[in-house]
Amino acid sequence: MSATACAHLSAISTVKGPAKRECLECVKIGSNWVHLRTCQECGVTLCCDNSPNRHATKHARASHHPVIASAEPGERWLYCYPHDAFAEY
């Protein structure tokens, strides 16, 4: 973790990964996604901002869950919405 990491990011000791490699909400509506993100508060996996439905960001705003992790293979980073902060792990 970098020295500039926010309190949300530095509070995370174990990063939650995706239970399934799919966007929970896109599957319900039969839509597609580009990349997947996992909410570090509740563990739900949703789609990124390059996806048409941007479910991860909608979830973060609606639920006030601050931090997501990339659910893409080989990517190891976290992002905090309220602080607009990235951290690799």
Find the shortest distance in angstroms from Cβ 30 to Zn ion: 11
Q: Which of 65, 70, 78, 87 binds Zn ion (CB under 5 A)?
A: 65
Q: What residue ranges in the chain does DSSP mark as E strands?
A: 36-39, 45-47, 67-70, 77-80, 85-88
Q: Which residues have CB under 8 Å from 80's CB, separation 6+? A: 6, 8, 9, 66, 67, 86, 87
| Stretch 14-53: interaction string toward Zn ion, x if CB under 5 A | ---------x-xx------x-----x-xx----x-----x
Q: Which of 5, 38, 48, 55 touches Zn ion (CB under 5 A)? A: 55
